[in-house]
Amino acid sequence: MNATYMQQLIDIAHRAGAAIMEVYRSGDAGETSKADNSPLTLADLAAHRTIVEALTRLTPEIPILSEEAADILYPVRSQWTRYWLVDPLDGTREFIKRNGEFTVNIALIENGEPIMGVVYAPVQDVCYYGARGAGAFVQRGNTAAQSISVKPRAAGEPIKVVASRSHSDARTEALLKQLGDHQCISMGSSLKLCLVAEGAAHFYPRLGPTMEWDTAAAHAVVNAAGGIVCNMKGEELRYNKVDLHNPEFLVLPAADEALFGLLGIRHSGLDPESSFKS
């Protein structure tokens, strides 16, 4: 997965973002509801078509699982050792609210692990990306891409916690009280994970429901930046499970033993110096 390949993936995410912005600017999202009562807009469908068509041309041999075409049975999926996992529009509720905090998420999964990911926020024109062995980066507009990495909390520093704008609950509030001195940063969609990846936040807990496509691309970026996305036992999230729901998870620097201690868990032995290295 060389730099040229990654640039093609970034270009696909930008094209999907452009398709989303056409709907966003029109003021008519064509909002409907899925069977689970989650919202669906014309922008979700336009981005889905753009990404699937482009990935099929780029890598016809690699299957695609998208949120908008997720009815592929597990006996079929279980045979995949490598596949694309896509959320064409992550943060549909943020899109409907028109606060700009929504993203295009494209991840490459290999043997249950996210090895490459692109997260593009079209309103801000900000793109986060990362890959195994290649590091993590952010590009804002037409400026040069900058390398990013997680930043463990310094001694005595308040814990910067990123939280969802659309999802909050009493258990999360209780967990934050357990941490002691902390500051909250509100954000929508997979941008929450990216804030940890670039060191703008130390910690993101998610105790509510999510799906695999919600996290995979940003998970790849977090890992490439030296972070971990783990369940409440400290084990990295896995992908292409029978049930595509994620467990509750935590996002933080892999080397922040003090924060793991406050949380009362031990991580799975991930070495931040060798994480996702070839």
Please report, for the chain, the start and end positions of each structural domain, with discontinuous segments joined by +. 3-148, 159-263
Q: How high is the pLDDT of residue 90?
A: 95
Q: Which fold has domain 159-263?
A: D-Maltodextrin-Binding Protein; domain 2 (3.40.190)
Q: How high is the pLDDT of residue 164?
A: 66
Common-topology check for domains 3-148 and 159-263? no
Q: Which two tokens stand for residue 110?
A: 């290999």
Rounded to whole angstroms, the Cα distance separating 11 from 120 reads 10
**14 to 41, 195, 216, 265: CA distances (angstroms):** 18, 20, 18, 38
User: What CATH class has 3-148?
Assistant: alpha beta
Q: How high is the pLDDT of residue 1?
A: 53
The residues near 256 (Cβ < 8 Å, ≥ 6 apart) are 152, 153, 202
Q: How high is the pLDDT of residue 38?
A: 81
- How would you write the pLDDT of the chain (278 residues) with one tens digit per residue? 567 889 999 999 999 999 999 999 997 777 787 767 788 889 999 999 999 999 999 999 999 999 999 999 999 999 999 999 999 999 988 898 888 999 999 999 999 999 999 999 999 999 999 999 999 999 999 999 999 999 999 988 999 999 765 556 788 888 888 888 899 998 888 999 999 999 999 999 999 899 999 999 999 999 999 999 999 999 999 999 999 999 999 999 999 998 999 888 877 654 443 333 32
Q: How high is the pLDDT of residue 270?
A: 47
pTM, 2 dp: 0.92
Give φ, ψ of 138 to 5 degrees. Answer: -135, 140
202: helix, strand or coil: coil
